Amino acid sequence: MRKIDIMVIFILLVFFATSWAQEYPGFRVIGRHLYDKCGEKVILRGVNKMIIWTDKDGIPSYMEIAKTGANVVRIVWLTTGTASELDIAISNCIDNYMIPMIECHDATGEWDNLDMIVDYWSRPDIVSVIENHEEYLLLNIANECGDAQVPIDTFKTGYKDAILKMREAGIHVPLIIDGTDWGKDINVLQSQGPSLIDDDPDHNLIFSVHMWWPVMWGYSASTVIDEIAQSVNMELPLIVGEFGALWDTTAQGAIPYLTILEQCHLNEIGWIAWSWGPGNNPQTFLDMTEDGTFQTLHDWGLEVTTTNSFSIANTAVRPYSIVNGECSGTAVKSNRDLVNRTGFKLEQNFPNPFNLSTKIVYEVFIPADITLEIYNIEGQKVRTLVNEWKAAGSYNVYWNGLSDSGINVSSGIYFYQIIVRRDSDIFKKVNKLILLR
């Protein structure tokens, strides 16, 4: 390549970066991906929280959710929420280094309520709050608006009008649109999404499918794989805005949630699990926690947030801009680097896979009681490597593939978990390792 060509490309890149910062104060959808104000790609990983019905200011829920490393909270809201309450709920989410995605729940299954919700978002006092937070805010217009009977042309016309009204009101953050049939219909998003993007003066839309897709209704892991592949192939900006492990407690109520995690990770698609809890009464199996704390994460909630290879803890990346309040070239902060929130850092073991021995490095930034244990793929504890109070510092620990009883364990996938106890706080982090004999 000639020197003059390199210079032209450099000038264009500088111009693009400068123009981006000037034109878009917040998040921007390009192609099928979301980018922050600095041009950093952001893949959403987080949870839904019924803020409007619980701790309306988000305290202490946000602090507990932040311990997972989540980069987004989908905030359940209602039109009864005041501008002041909305401002506080959004501000506290940002203060915990997570992206607020505010959604309005008044139209769940009720298409006729869409206009009411758009009127709410377009109110001058609400617009003022949105503009105040437009640097980091995402706006999910209406949760699961409409049942399975909404005609496609009605969906298209209704959301085109909603988009135009909200843009005219001065709202320029990314707008998220749920599918009909209580959010489950991905086909309407695939068929109407591209034309709605064209209708949007800002071309700044995301489409959200709620994968309440149990076996009883004919869904399967293959459905998830095929529909995500189709959306990727058509460059649709798609996220999975809600999903759980079960629709009900029968075998036929099972949802292929592990496939959702895997396919979203492989295809760089955001997802937000339903829901942190508590409050899913009587369907308590939808609660990821028992009392809203990180410590009481259990069952599928623990998998989705922490232990699964594609969990929040293992895949979420928080934008550098929301953590540091500024852009920083190519620098990216992952949840593993956000030690200011937890006081420790756990590195990936090396070598991995390993045969004879592998080294695990962890750092403690604040003195704490440390437990480091090895678990097999069935969740059974194999070996305790550390169980003592540690002063601040960096530590190396080695595992030679022996169990606590001194027996060589078999080849396979294992997990090493660090538990940090400090006063009344408990933090956990899990990484995967592979033993090959």
- pLDDT given at position 427: 80
If asked whether residues 325 and 349 sit together in one domain, one would say no
Residue 428: pLDDT band with limits 50, 70, 90: confident
Q: What is the CA radius of gyration of the chain?
A: 23
CB 238 within 8 A of CB 206: yes
pLDDT of 331-369, one tens digit each?
A: 433 333 434 445 678 888 999 899 999 999 998 877 889
Q: Compute the average pLDDT of residues 224-235.
A: 96
Given a cut of 80, whether residue 245 has pLDDT beyond it is: yes
Half-sphere exposure of 211 (CA within 13 A, CB side): 31
Which domain CATH number covers 387?
Answer: 2.60.40.4070
Residue 285: pLDDT band with limits 50, 70, 90: very high
Domain end call among 307, 334, 361: 334
If asked whether residues 275 and 241 sit together in one domain, one would say yes
Number of domains in the chain: 2
Residue 12 lies in a domain: no
Domain end call among 334, 362, 379: 334
Per the model's pLDDT, the better-predicted residue between 93 and 324 turns out to be: 93
Domain end call among 313, 334, 355: 334
Whole-structure pTM value:
0.73
Strand order in the sheet with 28-30: 28-30, 33-35, 41-42
Given a cut of 80, whether residue 107 has pLDDT beyond it is: yes
Cα(230)–Cα(224) distance, integer angstroms: 10
Given a cut of 80, whether residue 15 has pLDDT beyond it is: no
Residue 7 lies in a domain: no
- pLDDT given at position 96: 92
pLDDT of 27-73, one tens digit each?
A: 999 999 999 988 889 999 999 999 999 999 999 999 999 999 999 99
Given a cut of 70, whether residue 7 has pLDDT beyond it is: no
Name which of 6-20, 131-145, 199-213 the model is least confident about.
6-20
If asked whether residues 419 and 372 sit together in one domain, one would say yes
- pLDDT given at position 23: 56
Task: Tell me what the pLDDT averaged over the chain comes to.
Answer: 89
- pLDDT given at position 363: 86
In percent, the amount of the chain with pLDDT more than 70 equals 91
If asked whether residues 314 and 416 sit together in one domain, one would say no
Cα(318)–Cα(14) distance, integer angstroms: 24
If asked whether residues 219 and 355 sit together in one domain, one would say no
Cα(264)–Cα(44) distance, integer angstroms: 10
pLDDT of 112-168, one tens digit each?
A: 999 999 999 999 999 999 999 999 999 999 999 999 999 999 999 999 999 999 999
If asked whether residues 362 and 269 sit together in one domain, one would say no
pLDDT of 160-174, one tens digit each?
A: 999 999 999 999 999
What is the domain extent for residue 362? Answer: 343-435
If asked whether residues 355 and 429 sit together in one domain, one would say yes
Which domain CATH number covers 77?
Answer: 3.20.20.80
- pLDDT given at position 344: 79
- pLDDT given at position 9: 38
If asked whether residues 303 and 411 sit together in one domain, one would say no
pLDDT of 373-397, one tens digit each?
A: 999 887 889 999 999 998 878 899 9
If asked whether residues 290 and 391 sit together in one domain, one would say no
If asked whether residues 306 and 396 sit together in one domain, one would say no
